């Protein structure tokens, strides 16, 4: 009779028990080794004397113990590294408080100029291009989605670019202050057109540390974003 071996289903049961014990504060790594050793000793006690466990089988069983124990330690190390990365990102993100950033979005804010009541100032518009374009068409839209102004940037290389709408309408008047407008972009390459990633300006008000790591608080006008969403710092 051949010697019994620790099968995949047994391994799954042990792993499940170890995972469950970790939620109750028990040292899952230590308990895991104890369970393996108990199974191995039981096998040795109940093996067929006429067909004892081969050295290779014993080695395989011990290798399984070391493998699972090593995975447990590796998981602990990875968890510690992840915590350090999250803490580093949160610290890095605090340096952006009070800074303007370009993040995915299409909103444009319009406000009154401090120099002249007849002029307006607008927040920048941005674009992220995967490849160069021969031209970029920028359509400014009002609250109802209607196009109220348009302009072209000309050729642009791949990468992140930012530019500003002057806030002037075709009839010479200025856009309404304290209003929100949107931009829609169309890139042209030869006879083809496509919609690249549009970026809008936002002011970083603070940093939120949550389950998904550090996120930037951009105020009431925009949802918090991850640090990786920042495409440009202005």
pLDDT at 65 over 50: yes
Residue 174 and residue 139 share a domain? yes
**Which residues are registered as beta bridge partners of 125?**
163, 200
The last residue of a domain, from among 61, 94, 127:
94
In eight-state DSSP terms, residue 117 is T
Q: What is the pLDDT of residue 117?
A: 63
Q: Is residue 1 part of a domain?
A: no
pLDDT tens digits along 89-136? 677 788 889 999 999 999 999 988 777 666 889 999 999 999 999 999
Question: Are 134 and 61 members of one domain?
Answer: no
Q: What is the predicted pLDDT for the residue at 179?
A: 78
Residues 34 and 90 in one domain: yes
Residues 132 and 193 in one domain: yes
Q: Which domain holds residue 35?
A: 8-94
Q: Is residue 116 part of a domain?
A: yes
Residue 181 reports pLDDT greater than 50: yes
- Long-range contacts made by residues 9-17, C-beta under 8 angstroms, separation at least 24? 10/39, 11/64, 11/68, 14/68, 15/68
Same domain, 207 and 223: yes
Q: Compute the average pLDDT of residues 151-176.
A: 92
pLDDT band at residue 214 using 50, 70 and 90 as cut-offs = confident
141 belongs to a structural domain: yes
Q: Count the domains in the chain.
A: 2
- Judged against a pLDDT cut of 80, whether residue 152 lies above it is answered with yes
- Judge if 141 and 214 occupy the same domain: yes
Does residue 195 form part of some domain? Answer: yes
Residue 150 shares a structural domain with residue 85:
no
pTM metric for this prediction: 0.62
Give me the percent of the chain exceeding a pLDDT of 90. Answer: 38
Domain co-membership, 187 together with 141: yes
Whether residues 125 and 198 share a domain: the answer is yes
The answer to whether position 2 is within a domain reads no
Q: What is the mean pLDDT of the chain?
A: 79
Residue after which a domain boundary falls, among 94, 128, 145: 94
Q: Is residue 33 part of a domain?
A: yes
What is d(CA 7, CA 19) in angstroms, rounded to the nearest whole number? 18
Confidence of residue 66 (pLDDT cuts 50, 70, 90): low
C-alpha pair distances (Å), 120 with each of 9, 53, 110, 139, 142: 70, 86, 7, 18, 16
**What confidence score (pLDDT) does residue 178 get?**
75
User: Which of 41, 68, 94 delimits the end of a domain?
Assistant: 94
Same domain? 109 vs 153: yes
* Percent of the chain residues past pLDDT 70, beyond the cut: 68
What would the 3-class secondary structure string for 62-97 be?
HHHHHHHHHHHHHHHHHHHHHHHHHHHHHHHHHCCC
162 within some domain: yes
Residues 72 and 30 in one domain: yes
More confident residue, 227 or 74: 227
- The CATH number given to whatever domain includes residue 151 is 2.60.40.4070
Interval 132-144 mean pLDDT: 94
pLDDT at 161: 96
In a domain, residue 25? The reply is yes
Residues 183, 86 within the same domain: no
């Amino acid at each position: 009779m051949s010697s019994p071996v620790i099968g995949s289903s047994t391994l799954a049961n042990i792993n499940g028990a170890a995972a469950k014990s970790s939620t109750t504060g028990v040292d899952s790594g230590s308990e895991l080794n104890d369970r393996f050793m108990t199974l191995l000793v039981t096998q040795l006690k109940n093996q067929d004397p006429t067909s004892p466990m081969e050295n290779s089988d014993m080695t395989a069983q011990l290798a399984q113990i070391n493998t699972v124990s090593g995975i447990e330690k590796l998981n602990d190390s990875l968890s510690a590294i992840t915590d350090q990365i999250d803490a580093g990102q949160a610290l890095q993100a605090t340096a952006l408080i009070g800074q303007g950033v370009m993040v995915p979005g299409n909103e444009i804010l319009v406000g009154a100029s401090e120099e002249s009541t007849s002029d307006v100032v607008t927040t920048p518009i941005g674009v992220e291009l995967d490849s160069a374009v021969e031209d970029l068409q920028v359509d400014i839209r009002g609250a109802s989605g209607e196009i109220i102004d348009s302009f072209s940037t000309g050729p642009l290389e791949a990468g992140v670019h930012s530019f500003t709408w002057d806030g002037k309408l075709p009839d010479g008047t200025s856009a309404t202050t304290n209003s929100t407008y949107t931009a829609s972009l169309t890139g042209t390459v030869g006879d083809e057109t496509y919609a690249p990633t549009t970026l809008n300006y936002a002011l970083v008000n603070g940093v939120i540390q949550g389950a998904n790591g550090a996120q930037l608080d951009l105020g009431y006008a925009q949802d918090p974003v991850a640090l990786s969403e920042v495409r440009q710092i202005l």
